Structure 1
Amino acid sequence: MKKLIHKRQRKWIIIAGWVICWQLLAMAVDNGILLAGPLETAQRLVSLLGEGGFFLTVGKSLLRMAIGFTAGFLAAVLLAAGSRRFPLLEEALAPVTALLKAVPVASFVVLLLVWWGSSFLAVAVCFLVVLPNLYVNTLEGLKSADSRMLEMARVFRMPVWNRFFYIYRPALRPFLDSGMKISLGMCWKSGVAAEVIGMPDFSIGGRIYLSKVYLDTAGVLAWTAVVIVLSALFEKLVRRLLDLFFAWEPACRRPRIQGRAAGGRRGAEADGSRGTAVEAMGIAKIYDGQPVLKDFHAVYQEGETYYLTSPSGSGKTTLLHILAGLIRPDGGYVSPVPVCSMVFQEDRLCEDYSAVKNVELVTGDSERAREALRRLLGEEALHRPCRQLSGGMRRRVALVRAMEADSECVLLDEPFTGMDAGTRRLAEIYIRERQDGRIILIATHI
């Protein structure tokens, strides 16, 4: 706390020092037209506050900047999402974004003034300045999302809503923070410059221009101070809204899974239907010229648990990934392709979110997730971010996530890593109780 106070004191001392230097320089120049001092500027600002049209002028300029920034932000996010989904769109937009970043703001102002007039000039300029910067940053943020987490989402058939908020959104944050710092400042600088040239009614830029015409240097500086204050307040508001957006944890949606997996084995028994076994026929996989799997055959029956206990490097993980649809075999096929849930070799948890939220991502039901986790975790661990949990706790969260997801086949790759003997026994009991007629494959060292 003392360090924070001292830091704030130093900040104000530094500001006061620069104001004193400004005043001394103005006294040395001794010409109010060339340079007005801080006292003259403050007096002029007070007089502006008393003018009838001051707040209307401020309000309209603020509205123009807000509309331009918001439109640029929304367009950047939508175009970035489209480019992430369709690489051809990214290629098509690349020369446009390069052009928007390279063309001087003055050129935009002159062209738009010719085409549209002054009414929407500031809005359009703000939009064009914000768009390329936020588009590039948003696209890079989307591309930075962990590919392993996206694989996990694919296996669990996670809805787009859940993927965006809990996989893509955390990856976006540092990129949006960086983009916002640049875009917010540029928005006001370019927007006010456009108002100076376009002179729309009730605009700060227009008042700055008129102050210049009448050699009112104190007025120019006073309006500049207004712009600085508005820009700072606007930036604080936008960043606060951004913080709230990243802190928000919306309810997760349940994956839409068709067939028997949607209701579990109980649903199949209720309507009298019987599921079919999963067959791996002639599976082959080669890495760097070395065969990992060669002409592998197996039949996995519903309601049965199978242990894969061959030595490390024998292809257990590769087989599980093939069954989950993450790897295409070089030979053979799986029939029918099962709806899977999985514990990966890595935990693949959303690190910034709680154990409950990680399980809710695949169930769409927080209460169900909470009750299931209580079987293997203490109450105090349920709502802590997963990055704060021990390795064994994280493994239990991954196990519960796999077992609670609606699936036909549960693939468990070293699910007991980090667990002591007692915890492992509890985990094995939990797996048996939650099997629910499904196929379970467990790759483990025994």
Structure 2
Amino acid sequence: MGSRKQYWWSLAGVVTFLAVWEIGARISGSYLIFPGPAMVIRRFFTLVQTGRFLGALGGSFLRVLLGILLSAPLGVAVGIMAGLDKRVNAFLAPLFSVIAATPVMSVILIAFLVFGSERTPVFTAFLMVFPVMAANTIAGIRSVDHKLRELFTLYGLSRKETIRRLYIPAIMPFILGGMRSSLSLCWKVVVASEVLVQPLLALGTGMQRAKAQLETPELFAWTLATVIAAAFTEWAVSTLLRSGKKRRFRK
């Protein structure tokens, strides 16, 4: 019964959002400024049937995938080292502070000068996601009960065994949470980079071209496509993680 109520509340939220969107479009009085949802959805379905859209979607998805594959393992490894050794944590703290304080647009523009248009979105995604994964891992390490640490030390287990049997299970929920938040962040950063540097096949490039040609409904359609792609990948990863948990529980 509770899930049914949540479904209806979610549906009500969607309907309210579309209604507010339609009212805003009518108030603006021009589709060039703010097109309505019906026009955007029609343009979206027209867009997804084109070859340029499929190529752009594939290019952006590949950049997101590369950004995650590069940043997540390295962030976890660095996070484990920093969580276990205060000296490593102190050494890396200035780097994390600089990354957190640097505007994303500055990172994109500087990276563009070094890496070019094709690699800049991947590098920017890596730079933004890496500290998130490292910070989540450090938090997971610090959440381990100190009494359990003393117990492992008392039984004379090696550092490798302690990490494998104590710390890895403890940090897994933090890593999975970091992965979920990093996926949406990665999509935002990759597409923002694509809008600025305009690689050949990219969702962000489609947005920029639609904006330059004053095709506002198409700009909204590209944005809708990005939101759907990001939501789908996040749902897919969450589903895989839940199924993995169920298999481990059954074993």
Matched, 1:33 2:32: yes
Question: Which residue in 2 is equivalent to 1:130?
Answer: 129
Confirm or deny that 1:155 pairs with 2:154.
Answer: yes
Q: 1:266-277 to 2 correspondence within 5 Å?
A: none
- Once residues 128 and 67 of structure 1 are traced to their aligned partners in structure 2, the CA distance between those partners, rounded to angstroms, is 12
Give how far 1:50 is off.
1.6
* Distance change (3 Å), C-alpha of 1:169 and 1:240: farther
Structure 2 counterpart SS, 1:120: helix
Q: Distance in 2 between matches of 1:246 and 1:199?
A: 40
2:228 partner amino acid: V
Q: Quick one: structure 1 residues 37 and 13, their matched pair in 2 at CA, closer, same or farther if it must change by over 3 Å?
A: same
- Find the aligned partners of 1:225 and 1:51 in 2 and give their Cα distance: 15
**TM-score, structure 2 normalization:** 0.91
* Equivalent residue number for residue 51 of structure 2: 52
SS of residue matched to 2:117: coil
Q: What is the rounded CA distance, in whole Å, between the counterparts of 2:165 and 2:240 in structure 1?
A: 18
- The 5 Å alignment of 1:210-225 reads 210-225=209-224
> In 1, Cα distance between the equivalents of 2:155 and 2:235?
39
Distance between the aligned counterparts of 1:162 and 1:193, measured in 2? 42
Deviation at 1:20, TM superposition (A): 1.7
TM-score (norm 1): 0.53
One-letter amino acid matched to 1:69: I
CA positional deviation for 1:189: 1.1
Separation in structure 1 between the aligned mates of residue 241 and residue 80 of structure 2, nearest angstrom: 18
Aligned to 1:17: 16
Alpha-carbon contact 1:119-1:200 (below 8 Å) kept: yes
Distance 1:245 1:101, change over 3 A: farther
Residue 189 of structure 2 is matched in structure 1 by 190
- Give me the whole-angstrom Cα distance separating, in 2, the residues matched to 1:223 and 1:168: 42
1:187-244 C-alpha deviation (Å, 9 max, x unpaired): 1111100000110011000000000011111111111111111111121233344445
Q: Per-residue deviation at 1:84?
A: 3.0
User: Aligned residue for 1:76?
Assistant: 75
Q: 1: distance between equivalents of 2:161 and 2:242?
A: 19
Q: After superposition, where does 1:69-148 map in structure 2 within 5 Å?
A: 69-148=68-147
Distance 1:248 1:168 in 2: 21
Confirm or deny: 8 A CA contact 1:170 1:246 kept in the other structure.
no
Q: Distance in 2 between matches of 1:245 and 1:111?
A: 40
Query: Who is 1:236 aligned against?
Result: 235
> Which piece of structure 1 moves more, 63-72 or 203-212?
63-72
The structure whose residues are more often strand, as a share, is 1
Higher relative contact order structure (alpha carbons within 8 Å, sequence separation ≥ 6): 2
The C-alpha deviation readout for 1:123-156, integer Å capped at 9, x for no partner, is 0111011011221121121122122222222333
CA drift of 1:91 comes to: 1.5
Contact 1:211 1:217 in 2 (8 A): yes
Deviation at 1:89, TM superposition (A): 1.9
Task: Give 5+ residue unaligned stretches, structure 2.
Answer: none
Distance apart, 1:40 and its partner CA: 0.6
What corresponds to 1:172 in structure 2?
Answer: 171
The equivalent residue for 1:3 is: 2
Separation (CA, whole Å) in 1 of partners of 2:62 and 2:99: 23
SS at match of 2:32: coil
> Whole-Å Cα distance in 2 between the matches of residues 100 and 175 of structure 1?
21
Q: Tell me how far 1:162 sits from its aligned partner.
A: 5.5
Aligned-pair CA distance for 1:80: 1.1
Q: Deviations over 1:225-270 (max 9, x none)?
A: 1111111112123334444565665xxxxxxxxxxxxxxxxxxxxx
> What is the SS of the residue equivalent to 1:36?
coil
Report which stretch shifted further, 48-57 or 155-164.
155-164
Residue 32 of structure 2 contacts residue 215 of structure 2 at CA under 8 Å; is this kept in 1? yes
What one-letter code is carried by the residue in structure 2 that aligns with 1:14? G
Equivalent pair of 1:169/1:246 in contact (CA under 8 Å): no
User: What is the CA–CA distance in structure 2 between the aligned matches of 1:11 and 1:245, rounded to whole Å?
Assistant: 27
Q: Which letter does structure 1 place at the counterpart of 2:137?
A: T
Aligned-residue offset at 1:100: 0.6
Contact 1:126–1:190 (Cα < 8 Å) also in 2: yes
Superposed, 1:312-323 pairs within 5 Å as: none
Larger radius of gyration: 1
Look up the SS of the partner of 1:34 in the other structure: coil
Deviations 1:268-300 (A, max 9, x none): xxxxxxxxxxxxxxxxxxxxxxxxxxxxxxxxx
Q: Percent identity?
A: 25
C-alpha spacing 1:239/1:165, structure 2 compared with 1 (3 Å): farther
Provide the secondary structure at the position in 1 that maps to 2:118. Answer: coil
Cα 1:237–1:157 change in 2 (3 A) is farther
Unpaired segments ≥5 residues, structure 1: 250-352, 355-382, 384-446
Tell me which protein shows more helix as a share of its residues: 2
Offset, 1:88 = 2.2
CA apart distance, 1:75: 1.1
Q: Secondary structure at the match of 1:119?
A: helix
The question of whether the paired residues in 1 share the 8 Å contact of 2:180 and 2:238 is answered with no
* Aligned mates of 1:84, 1:238 — CA distance in 2: 26
